[in-house]
Amino acid sequence: MHKKLSLYFITAFVLILSSCGARKERSLFNAATDVVTDTIKQVYVVNDQGIDSYYKIKVNDLLAIRNVQNKEWGATASTGAGSTSAASSPTGKINTVLSYEVQPDGKVNLPAIGKVEVAGLSRREATAKIEGIYKSKLLPDPIIELSIVNLKVTLLGEFSKQGNFLLERDNTTLIDIIGEAGGITKTADPKTLKIIRGDRSKPEIIYVNLNDINSLASKKLVLQNDDIIVLQTTKGAATSDKLQSFSNILQPLLVVVNLAVLIFTISR
């Protein structure tokens, strides 16, 4: 019995010492700079690529456009080159508004007015430009609604819901998306959140300490298209899981050993 208890204590001690390793085994997209999560105060950026609060329209983006004053406008227009007949909303529903792809020349081909250069513009700037062209050529008082339907971020790890989330609004923040995902789990470590952004071969990595309210002031928390947001479990939870797994393996072995000892004792 004493030997059994000693074995448990030794096992637990070893697993506690290896808790960092246990958590690392369960986490995704590990980087050498992840050690900063042990001391991070608010927000720490690796390979800073600058601040771009407003998303700029790029080639291959899909723009859903309609005139708010006439909901049928845009939905009944014939589908031309570079356009698709529906756009997905964040709720998974399909809108009957046509979406138009930004072509390699940075222009989008729209009904009645033809090609309009929009690459490099924010959503608001593109909306104002298209609204002005329609007003001068076709519609008396257009109110154009424009959304970029292909923008998304990916949440992985200790969130209540994981997966892809569409960026429906300008300046969608990290907290907006965490709220949409239903918050974080009970086993999440708030100091380990990181955002992987930009070029995948040399990404910008943004570490965020969710424990500190001052982190919310950082402009780096305005999300960009294709951001990957990862949140790790606590060291304690990772160790507990590893200990439980080891215990599940050890228990049958102890039963066999105890049975062997009992048989040996009886047969003496």
The band of 25, judged by pLDDT with boundaries at 50, 70 and 90, is: low
In which region does residue 116 sit, left (phi positive, over 0), alpha (psi from -120 to 50) or beta (all else)?
A: beta
The band of 54, judged by pLDDT with boundaries at 50, 70 and 90, is: confident
pLDDT at 101 > cutoff 80: yes
pLDDT at 87 > cutoff 50: no
Is residue 118 in some structural domain?
yes
Residue 159 shares a structural domain with residue 41: yes
Residue 41 shares a structural domain with residue 158: yes
Per the structure, the complete domain to which residue 81 belongs is given by 62-148
Higher pLDDT pick, 66 / 42: 42
The band of 93, judged by pLDDT with boundaries at 50, 70 and 90, is: very low
pLDDT at 186 > cutoff 90: yes
- Would you state the pLDDT for residue 85? 45
The tally of domains found in the chain comes to 2
Range ranked top by mean pLDDT from 51-55, 168-172, 187-191: 187-191
pLDDT at 139 > cutoff 90: no
β-bridge pairing 114-117 and 107-110: antiparallel
Is residue 9 in some structural domain?
no
| Alpha carbons 147 and 119: distance in angstroms, whole number | 14
- Would you state the pLDDT for residue 250? 64
pLDDT at 179 > cutoff 90: yes
Name residues whose C-beta falls within 8 Å of residue 74's C-beta, 6 or more positions apart in sequence: 65, 66, 67, 97, 98, 111
Question: Tens of pLDDT along 193-220?
Answer: 999 999 889 999 999 999 999 999 999 9
pLDDT at 16 > cutoff 90: no
Is residue 174 in some structural domain?
yes
- Would you state the pLDDT for residue 23? 57
Residue 196 shares a structural domain with residue 218: yes
Domain CATH for 219: 3.10.560.10
- Would you state the pLDDT for residue 204? 96
Rounded mean pLDDT, 73-97: 44
- What is the gyration radius of the CA atoms in the chain, in angstroms? 27
β-bridge pairing 228-231 and 152-157: parallel
Is residue 215 in some structural domain?
yes
Is residue 221 in some structural domain?
yes
Last residue of a domain, one of 114, 148, 182: 148
Rounded mean pLDDT, 36-52: 87
Is residue 8 in some structural domain?
no
Residue 104 shares a structural domain with residue 229: no
- Would you state the pLDDT for residue 244? 61
Residue 66 shares a structural domain with residue 95: yes
Last residue of a domain, one of 148, 165, 197: 148
Of 65-79, 171-185, 243-257, the range with the lowest mean pLDDT is 65-79
Residue 221 shares a structural domain with residue 144: no
Rounded mean pLDDT, 175-190: 95
Of 55-59, 127-131, 232-236, 260-264, the range with the lowest mean pLDDT is 260-264
Of 84-93, 117-126, 148-157, 244-253, the range with the lowest mean pLDDT is 84-93
Residue 111 shares a structural domain with residue 229: no
Residue 71 shares a structural domain with residue 143: yes
Is residue 139 in some structural domain?
yes
The band of 253, judged by pLDDT with boundaries at 50, 70 and 90, is: confident
Residue 38 shares a structural domain with residue 67: no
pLDDT at 61 > cutoff 70: yes
pLDDT at 178 > cutoff 60: yes
- Would you state the pLDDT for residue 109? 94
Amino acid at 267: S
- Would you state the pLDDT for residue 188? 94
Residue 89 shares a structural domain with residue 214: no
Residue 34 shares a structural domain with residue 166: yes
Domain CATH for 81: 3.30.1950.10
Is residue 3 in some structural domain?
no
